[in-house]
Every structure is written in C-alpha cells, then in structure tokens.
C-alpha cells in the first residue's frame, strides 16, 4: 500500500514562474539535500544548489544569454542538467534538451530550429558533435571537461560579472514567457518545437498537487531522457514545488538500484520499466525455497482476486480481504521495502498502454500504478488516475481545470492552462492542432464515459482501414501479440487498405538473453534465435493465442519474425519507444509484400 501524502503546504506552490518557485524553495533550510548524482557520487544541498544556479546564470549572462535566448543541452541525467536549466530560466532564457541517441543530422536540425548560440554537453557526446553541423554555436560548454580547459562549467561560473543582478533578472521573467522547447519525436515528419510557458508547466504541476501525488520534500528520480517532457516534469519541475530532492541516474539500466537507494515519493515508469521489474520479481520468486515460492504464489492469487473484484466494482469477499492483509504484512510489505517503494505516494505510467497483466500484478502487491495520458503539447498530462484507486485500462479523468471533448470522429480535444503556446516558428502547423478557442487536437482517438473516465483507443493517423472498410487499432492488436508471449518484444501490425492483417515481430532481448544463458549458447545473436525452430514454435503459439482474443478482421494471418533488434537509437523506434511506422513500412517493404504473396 502506498504511503499517505505528507501534510503541509508545498513551498513552491503559488509561484508565478519556475524561477520564483525555485527561489521560494531555496529560501528554506539550506542544508536540505537537493541534488544527488547516483552514478557520479556528487550531491548538493539547497544552499549549494541556489548558489551555483546564481553563478551559472551570471556566467551565461556574461557571454550574452538574455531573455528569450535559447540554451541547448546534450547531457545524460546528472545534476549539471538541473543547474544549467534553472540558471537559464533565471535569465528568462529558454533551455531545451536533445536526445543523446539522436544522429548528427537530427541534432543539426534542432540546433538550426532553436537558433541557440550556447550548447552545454559532456565529453561522451563530443564525438557525435564533431560529425554535426553546429551552425551558429559560439560557446560549447563541457560540464565534465578538465578544469582549466576554458570550456568547462567552472570557468563559466567564474566568468560572472560583478554587476550581475540575479534577483532583477529572475523577477523580470513573466508567466507567459517560454520556459522550454520540447521537440516531438518526429514520427510524422521533422520534429516540431513545442513551446511551453512557465504558466503551462506550473499549471500542470499544480493540478497534480491537487490530486495528492507530491508530498513536501518529495524524493524524485530523473532517469528518462531530459528531452522527454515526462522527465522534465517528474524529475525537475516537481522539485520546484515540493522543495525536495532529485536523484539523477545517468545509466537507465540502474534505475531500480537508484529507487532502492533514494526511496522515491513519486516515480514514473514507462510500461517497459514495469514489465522488466515484474519479470525480475517473478524470476526472484522462483529462486525461493519451494515453501516460500508456494506462499508467494498463493498470496498473488489472492491479490489478483482482490484487484479484479475492486476493478469490477464488487465488494471484496471478507476472506479474500483478510488473506490479502496477512499476505501484505508477511510478503508484500517486505517486497515494497526491498524495491524502495515503501515511501511512494504516487506511481505513474504513460507514453504507451501498460499490459493489463502487469498492471494487475503491481496492484496485487500493493503498488497501484496510476496510468496517465497526455502529450508534449500539454505538458504530458491531459488525464490521469488519482492515487486512491486506479482504474485499469483507463487513463484517468481530466486534470483539475482541464476540459475534454470528442470530435465527430472520436478524436479527443483538450483545453486547459497546460496547453502549449504553439510550435516554434510554425504558425501553420500550430493552427492545424490549436484553434482560436484554445482547443488542442490531440490526435488520439478515445472513449469518455459518463463519469468522465478516459480510455485511449489509438492514434488517429495510425488507424487501419482494411480493404473491406473495417476500422482497427493497430496498437490494440500489437498489444495482444506482445501480451501473448514473453518472446515478442515488438510488434508492428500492417493492414491499411489490405485484405487482411500481417505483422512484423521482433524478439524480446531479455527473453533472448535468458535463453542464451540457460542453454549456454555463448555469443549467440538474436538473428540465430529468430531461426530457432523451438522459438518459432513459441511465437506461432503466441500469434494463435492473440488471434483468439481479436475480432476476425483484426486477426494476424501471417507474420515475419525478423532477425533484428529494434532499439531507441535505431531506425524503427523513437527515443520514447514508439513505432516509426512510416520508416518501418519503407525499410521492411519487401518482407511485407512477401507476406501478402503468401510467404512467411
């Protein structure tokens, strides 16, 4: 069970700008921990944090950064991101981040669009920058450069002018000033720079405070890419309302180590994070003694029964409730403590649908994950489940102060104070999604019930219309395929304008690694496993199982098991693990045509 939210007023609530919120938090006990670099061993208290923000702001001002200027960052998750971002905000400048996995061509495009003269990075990214047309960049600041090199952060801090007035600078910042650019993932064309104002961001933070998810002095974790609005919101901006501590994790594979270390109050994990954690827990259960394993399995079965009754709106049978309370004391509470979620007040997921079996599992062990929905254009939040009892399969209800309605074709339209100002230098693209009355076309097809609960069906542009006129959601079909077997890591359904659906399937890398270790296959590659008849038989069975849960028109008639890995740094996936459907259709066009010619 989640820990109740701590009482007390959050120190940054009521601020008009992010820099004012920061100053309100910094005005408290200076010895409170503020930033902790989990991978770097560095830490700062609030007094040190505020002092360095002031010095970096002065250094940026000395090299010409002022109100409305952009400051680019290509950084892993480390305290220097929060330092530089906040310093730029105090000047009324616009800090923005780029995905570290982006190729040189895309980085060059973002630099050209943002028109920043300052770029802050670290040594590990210098090689990719050497291949990039950095255009108008005048100052390259390397945060981990050797002292004395001249381009290090310490030199920037030392360069602040004696006459720099930090308070005058931050007090000149207005709520409607742009606070950051969030570049879209580019699945439907070149990335667009979403302009989010101080008011946009603080309204989203305030709405979440009203839902009770962020306590005073919140412990937060920053491990998602800074270019993703979810990290900026949950691993940066929330700190400015709570006066808490951010633990940064440069290596995302170590995020659960960091969770156990800092015991976060609020944590967001994309579905893949929760899936991996469930797999690790289940594997750990199997390694217990037979008696202990049996006890855990029985506790889980009782937990599932309890969750399913709650989700159906039925009373939990007294014996089931009593058995769960006993299991919670003896089994689930120690599990939560070992994971580091024993102080959590709000656990969230988003970006993609979380598999129901995964969601039910965590609810069963007393970790009710709250699914939310949004997009960069509305600070990642349009609707979210509150902390008391999440509704599985639904993304919650609109945030306080947010209006939601459906267009004739089912597209969700959203209006609220968190809706972006527009796309940078793209008035036509802005007008296409944001009307004069402030309604944002989200591009998502959804369902809204009488109580205002929202369910997402699919992206409007990604719906499949078969040759027979049947409208289908590829995302739902793909989820059914992935849910059917641990072996299916990624699935792409094809069928638009076709007589039936086919799919491209990619093996799950973790399942492959476990299989390689179990069978002592040494350096076996995914390509070899994709040709393994035993694994192909497993995938065959999974596709058949998925088809049993799909309507006839939705079923997969043929599939190709690709000998490839799809990675966020590759062609097929965005950094947030969304399918680049147009790229996939082009890259695997030959395999797709073979499937429709009757091949495998």
pLDDT tens per residue across span 537-587: 999 999 999 999 888 889 999 999 999 889 876 889 877 778 888 889 999
CA distances from 519 to 116, 170, 449, 489, 529 (A): 52, 61, 50, 20, 12
Where in the sequence is the domain holding 588, given as residue range(s)?
463-596
- Domain assignment present for 239: yes
Q: What is the pLDDT of residue 210?
A: 82
Residue 328, both tokens: 């919670």
Q: Hey, is 183 helix, strand or coil?
A: strand
Q: Are residues 471 and 572 in the same domain?
A: yes
- Domain assignment present for 470: yes
Q: Are residues 501 and 391 in the same domain?
A: no
Give the list of residues 6+ apart from residue 110 with CB closer than 8 angstroms, or none.
Answer: 72, 96, 98, 102, 183, 191, 193
Q: Are residues 347 and 437 in the same domain?
A: yes
The bridge status of strand 411-415 relative to strand 440-448 is antiparallel
CA distance 445 to 408: 10
Q: Are residues 250 and 157 in the same domain?
A: yes
Domain CATH for 521: 3.30.300.30
Give the list of residues 6+ apart from residue 208 with CB closer than 8 angstroms, or none.
Answer: 214, 238, 381, 384, 399
Helices of type H across 17-165: 18-26, 46-62, 79-90, 104-114, 126-130, 153-158
Q: Are residues 481 and 469 in the same domain?
A: yes
Radius of gyration in angstroms for the set of CA atoms belonging to the chain, rounded to a whole number: 25
Residues of the chain with pLDDT under 70: 1-8, 148-150, 186-189, 213, 524, 569, 598-600
Residue 300, both tokens: 């889980």
CA distances from 528 to 188, 468, 565 (A): 33, 38, 12
Q: What is the pLDDT of residue 597?
A: 87
Q: What is the pLDDT of residue 397?
A: 95
How many structural domains does the chain have?
A: 3
Q: What is the pTM of this model?
A: 0.85
- Domain assignment present for 199: no
Q: Hey, is 83 helix, strand or coil?
A: helix
Q: Hey, is 32 helix, strand or coil?
A: coil
- Which of the listed residues 460, 480, 512 is the one where a domain comes to its end? 460
CA distance 46 to 82: 12
Q: Are residues 469 and 406 in the same domain?
A: no
Q: What is the pLDDT of residue 552?
A: 84
Q: Are residues 239 and 301 in the same domain?
A: no
Q: Assign residue 313 a region (left: φ > 0; alpha: ψ between -120 and 50; beta: otherwise).
A: left
DSSP tag of 234: I
Helices of type H across 459-588: 474-484, 509-518, 526-530, 533-548, 581-587
Q: What is the pLDDT of residue 475?
A: 85
Q: Are residues 301 and 371 in the same domain?
A: yes
CA distance 188 to 576: 15
Q: Are residues 467 and 440 in the same domain?
A: no
Q: What is the pLDDT of residue 6?
A: 46
- Which of the listed residues 460, 480, 496 is the one where a domain comes to its end? 460
Q: What is the pLDDT of residues 22-46, one digit of tens each?
A: 999 999 899 999 999 998 878 999 9
Q: Are residues 336 and 441 in the same domain?
A: yes
- Which of the listed residues 224, 240, 264 is the one where a domain comes to its end? 264
- Domain assignment present for 205: no
Q: Are residues 398 and 528 in the same domain?
A: no
Residue with tokens 């590990």: 124
Q: Are residues 412 and 486 in the same domain?
A: no
The answer to whether 94 and 69 are in contact (CB under 8 A) is yes
């Amino acid at each position: 069970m989640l820990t109740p939210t701590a009482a007390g007023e959050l120190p940054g609530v009521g601020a008009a700008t992010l820099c004012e919120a920061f100053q309100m938090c910094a005005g408290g006990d200076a010895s409170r921990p503020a930033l902790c670099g989990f991978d770097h061993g560095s830490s700062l208290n609030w007094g040190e944090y505020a002092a360095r923000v002031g010095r970096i702001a002065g250094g940026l001002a000395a090299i010409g950064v002022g109100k409305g200027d952009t400051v680019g960052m290509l950084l892993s998750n480390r305290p220097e991101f929060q330092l530089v971002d906040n310093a730029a905000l105090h000047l009324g400048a616009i800090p923005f981040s780029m995905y570290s996995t982006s190729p040189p061509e895309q980085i060059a495009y973002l630099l050209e669009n943002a028109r920043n003269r300052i770029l802050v990075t670290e040594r590990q990214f210098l090689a990719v920058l050497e291949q990039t047309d950095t255009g108008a960049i005048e100052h390259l600041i390397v945060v981990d450069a050797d002292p004395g090199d001249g381009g290090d952060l310490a030199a920037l801090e030392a360069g602040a002018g004696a006459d720099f007035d930090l308070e005058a600078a931050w007090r000149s910042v207005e709520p409607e000033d742009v606070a950051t650019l969030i570049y879209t993932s580019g699945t439907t064309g070149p990335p667009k720079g979403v302009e989010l104002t101080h008011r946009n961001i603080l309204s989203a933070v305030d709405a979440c405070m009203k839902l009770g998810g962020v306590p005073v002095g919140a412990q937060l974790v920053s491990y998602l890419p800074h270019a993703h609005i979810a990290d900026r919101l949950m691993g940066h901006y929330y700190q400015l309302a709570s006066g808490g501590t951010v633990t940064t994790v440069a290596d995302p594979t170590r995020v659960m180590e960091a969770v156990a270390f800092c015991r976060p109050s609020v944590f967001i994990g994309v579905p893949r994070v929760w899936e991996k954690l469930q797999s690790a827990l289940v594997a750990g259960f199997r390694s217990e003694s037979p008696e202990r394993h049996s006890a855990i399995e029985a506790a889980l079965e009782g937990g599932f029964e309890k969750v399913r009754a709650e989700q159906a709106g039925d009373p939990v049978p007294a014996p089931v409730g009593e058995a769960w309370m006993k299991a919670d004391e003896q089994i689930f509470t120690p599990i939560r403590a070992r994971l580091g979620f024993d102080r959590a007040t709000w656990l969230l997921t988003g970006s993609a649908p979380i598999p129901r079996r995964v969601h039910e599992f965590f609810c069963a062990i007393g970790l009710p994950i709250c699914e939310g929905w949004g997009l960069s254009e509305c600070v990642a939040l349009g609707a979210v489940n509150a902390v008391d009892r999440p509704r599985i399969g639904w993304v919650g209800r609109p945030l306080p102060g947010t209006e939601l309605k459906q267009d004739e074709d089912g597209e969700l339209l959203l209006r609220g104070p968190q809706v972006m100002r527009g796309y940078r230098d793209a008035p036509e693209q802005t007008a296409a999604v944001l009307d004069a009355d402030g309604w944002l076309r989200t591009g998502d097809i959804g369902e809204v019930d009488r109580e205002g609960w929202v369910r997402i069906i699919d992206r409007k542009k990604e719906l499949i219309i078969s040759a027979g006129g049947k409208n289908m959601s590829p995302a739902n079909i793909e989820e059914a395929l992935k849910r059917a077997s641990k072996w299916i890591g990624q699935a792409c359904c094809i069928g638009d304008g076709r007589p039936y659906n086919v799919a491209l399937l990619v093996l799950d890398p973790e399942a492959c690694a476990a299989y390689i270790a179990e069978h002592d296959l040494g350096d076996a590659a995914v390509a070899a496993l994709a040709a393994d008849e035993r694994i192909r038989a497993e995938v065959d069975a999974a596709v058949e199982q998925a088809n049993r849960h799909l309507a006839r028109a939705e079923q997969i008639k043929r599939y190709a098991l690709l000998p490839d890995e799809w990675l966020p740094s590759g062609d097929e996936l965005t950094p947030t693990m969304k399918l680049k459907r147009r790229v996939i259709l082009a890259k695997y066009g030959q395999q797709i045509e073979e499937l429709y010619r009757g091949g495998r």
